[in-house]
Structure 1
Amino acid sequence: MRSLSLGTCAAVSLITAAQAGTPDISAKAPTTPVEAVSWKEHTISPVANPFFHEDAVIRSELRPVFVYHNIDDSFLGGGNAQLYALQIRYALTDRLAIIATQDGYFDINNDAIANPEGWMDLALGLKYALIDDEAHQFILTPGFTFKVPTGDREVFQGRGGGEWDLFMAAQKGFGDFHLSGNLGLRLPNNSDENSTLVHYSLMADYYTCRWFIPFLAFNAYTVVNEGNNIALNSEGYDVINFGSSGADGVTQGTLAVGFRSRIFKNVDLGLAYEKAIIEPNGLTDDRFTLDVSIRF
């Protein structure tokens, strides 16, 4: 009877425990680890110099771009210009992307050249992340684009048989602080109609929060082989390759400040103010760039 009583008590205890539910897991008990968020989630695409500061990070995105550009008064009397463009990038793999970096419509308000407007050339290419070191927050991405001369000659497009841009992009993270750079060679098929230039960009940004990601950027262009098309002593920065015959060795550069705001999980709004800081200023006094990076 004693053993039966003990057995009955044990059974009742087990049933009571089962009805009470599963006991709480100890704080020391092992749990399934949460997948770490990549450092690239807090990086941003460049806003200033959108045609030649190509991002090292491989992304799929649509990026409408609007630029309001003030022409320096010393350049054919000054004026302004507006550019409306759409960039497309599509990641074929986590390392390889197709990029369409230039297109759009260009409206120049300058009396000396009769206020022309027209379509920009198309620029298409590829980029590949040669090094993607997640642990050390570093990525190195070479790539190229070819500018197809499909644009209107009235806005200094559609000339020179096309232009290659061979570039190397890199980005290094230090927590939420990031440095990104791009070094490239603009190589025209016809070196009389277009100049050959080296371009280089550096941007520093800090992810304070999703709503405010400030950045500071420097963009410059050096003529290494002047063209023989127009008698100017400067070139057209990122938007125009004049083929200037008096620009050999000339460097032009801008300093930009701005921010991005992550208004949705996959949508960044960007704004930059850019000012020419190296003489001759040539085509540029200053400009505003507004874009929207829509990632998919």
Structure 2
Amino acid sequence: MVENVRHVRWIFGTGRGRAGVGLALLICGLAVTSRARAQEGGPPPDGAREAQPAQQRVESTRLEYYEPGEPTYLLSKERWHNDPEILWPGFLTGMRGFEGFYEPIGSPLYFESPFINTNLRFLYLWHKFPSGSNLGGGDLSVFAAQIRLALTDRLAFIATKDGYSLLNAGILPPADGWNDLAIGLKYAFIVDKANDFVLTGGMRWELSNGSQRVLQGGAQELSPFVSFAKGFDRFHMLGNVTYRAPMDRHDAVHIISYDLHFDYEILPEHLPGFAPVLEFHGLHYLSNGDMLPLSVGGLDYTNIGSEHVAGDGVFWAGLGFRWKLSPNASFGSTFEYPLHNPDNDIMGARVTADLMFTY
């Protein structure tokens, strides 16, 4: 970090006084230049050398705010704590060394990041049903919170589904109710800090405790998943593949889903902690259920056991941002839209927003 500039007050006079001031300024300038070059490992200047190029001077000034390869934040780079060791190494603190990455936003119930940390994530999701789909239009609002607890630097407990939903579908009366609960574990098998790469696997168990008024409370579901992250300086890519297997094949259908997240920290000097986000999501229904005579599934919100969905796929994209306020807080949002005929399933449009606090 560049040292704080010392403020010096000069008294200007005339004649010799001005000459003395000019000479003093010249000496100070040479001394500062010599010290800066010495800190960079270069030789000190011999006398009055050519002035430092303007572009190099600008870059030196920017280093006061941004170091290439280091994470940036809008408000503060200081943590709320100094990573104290509690019980054993890695407990609560989890994985360190990947703070430059940005967490995914869309498809929040199944797009699990590969990082091991402790966080509390508040979620809001607004979803529009296509008017030409089997549900006859309408919308859905979900209010939820996710909890992750780092048990070691590689193992974490996750609680990724809960909350409350407000459902207003065309073929159903308006209703509200509790969502199913989903809990699980994830483990980072590969952690390569030198190459900015992480590979994590996990298992999630979804209970059937929710309210059927909001299309919850169906079959229990096991969902093994694999997630990865790869960084290229300020550009980051995250991905996930999840297999959703109902514990009763008659009440729900088998689904495979996949997600990709891309972000790029475009202006770390001027917009520290800010990154535009582009995401792609998709899923395939692998089987039929026996619950409802419909040709649409439950997407990533539910698993309604429709009778005519085997072989169908749904694809959508999200465009948004994430802004890191500090190492412990960030918020993000995406607008998501279908990449196919929306009437083929229930993906009309979606807005997802979150606020995340990380230990």
Q: Which category of TM-score, normalised to the shorter sequence, fits these structures?
A: 0.7 to 0.9
Note the residue ranges of structure 2 that are not aligned, 5 or more in a row: 1-34, 42-68, 71-95
User: For residue 40 of structure 1, what is the aligned residue in structure 2?
Assistant: 98
1:283 partner letter: I
Among candidates 319, 322, 331, match of residue 269 of structure 1? 331
Q: Give the secondary-structure state (helix, strand or coil) at the position aligned to 1:237.
A: coil
User: For residue 169 of structure 1, what is the aligned residue in structure 2?
Assistant: 227
Among candidates 251, 258, 267, match of residue 320 of structure 2? 258
User: For residue 115 of structure 1, what is the aligned residue in structure 2?
Assistant: 174
Q: Give the secondary-structure state (helix, strand or coil) at the position aligned to 1:225.
A: coil
Distance apart, 1:42 and its partner CA = 1.3
Q: Give the secondary-structure state (helix, strand or coil) at the position aligned to 1:289.
A: strand
* CA distance in structure 2 between the aligned counterparts of 1:181 and 1:282, rounded to whole angstroms: 23
Q: Give the secondary-structure state (helix, strand or coil) at the position aligned to 2:213.
A: helix
Among candidates 69, 74, 80, match of residue 127 of structure 2? 69
Among candidates 262, 280, 285, match of residue 204 of structure 1? 262
2:352 partner letter: T
Conservation of the 8 A alpha-carbon contact between 1:222 and 1:250: yes
2:251 partner letter: E
* CA distance in structure 2 between the aligned counterparts of 1:195 and 1:262, rounded to whole angstroms: 38
Among candidates 237, 244, 254, match of residue 186 of structure 1? 244
* CA distance in structure 2 between the aligned counterparts of 1:270 and 1:85, rounded to whole angstroms: 15
Conservation of the 8 A alpha-carbon contact between 1:267 and 1:294: yes
Conservation of the 8 A alpha-carbon contact between 1:39 and 1:173: no
Conservation of the 8 A alpha-carbon contact between 2:99 and 2:327: no
**Structure 1 residue 125 corresponds to structure 2 residue 187:** no
Among candidates 144, 151, 171, match of residue 210 of structure 2? 151
User: For residue 292 of structure 1, what is the aligned residue in structure 2?
Assistant: 355
Conservation of the 8 A alpha-carbon contact between 1:42 and 1:207: no
Among candidates 83, 87, 99, match of residue 146 of structure 2? 87
**Structure 1 residue 217 corresponds to structure 2 residue 276:** no
* CA distance in structure 1 between the aligned counterparts of 2:97 and 2:333, rounded to whole angstroms: 23
Note the residue ranges of structure 1 that are not aligned, 5 or more in a row: 1-23, 29-35
User: For residue 282 of structure 1, what is the aligned residue in structure 2?
Assistant: 345
* CA distance in structure 2 between the aligned counterparts of 1:68 and 1:174, rounded to whole angstroms: 33
User: For residue 231 of structure 1, what is the aligned residue in structure 2?
Assistant: 293
* CA distance in structure 2 between the aligned counterparts of 1:238 and 1:84, rounded to whole angstroms: 15
- Tell me the matched-pair count: 265
CA offset digits 1:58-111 (Å, max 9, x no partner): 121100000111111112321111000000011111111000000000111124
CA offset digits 1:230-259 (Å, max 9, x no partner): 111121211011111100010011110110
Conservation of the 8 A alpha-carbon contact between 1:233 and 1:247: yes
Conservation of the 8 A alpha-carbon contact between 2:156 and 2:186: yes
2:177 partner letter: G
Do the aligned partners of residues 275 and 281 (structure 1) sit closer, same or farther apart at CA in structure 2, a change above 3 Å counting? farther
* CA distance in structure 1 between the aligned counterparts of 2:326 and 2:236, rounded to whole angstroms: 21
Distance apart, 1:294 and its partner CA = 0.7
User: For residue 12 of structure 1, what is the aligned residue in structure 2?
Assistant: none
CA offset digits 1:127-162 (Å, max 9, x no partner): 0000001111110000011001110111121122x1
Return structure 1 stretches of 4+ with deviation > 2 angstroms: 36-39, 207-211, 278-281
1:259 partner letter: F
Distance apart, 1:192 and its partner CA = 0.8
1:59 partner letter: N
* CA distance in structure 1 between the aligned counterparts of 2:349 and 2:142, rounded to whole angstroms: 14
* CA distance in structure 2 between the aligned counterparts of 1:153 and 1:69, rounded to whole angstroms: 18
TM-score (norm 1): 0.85
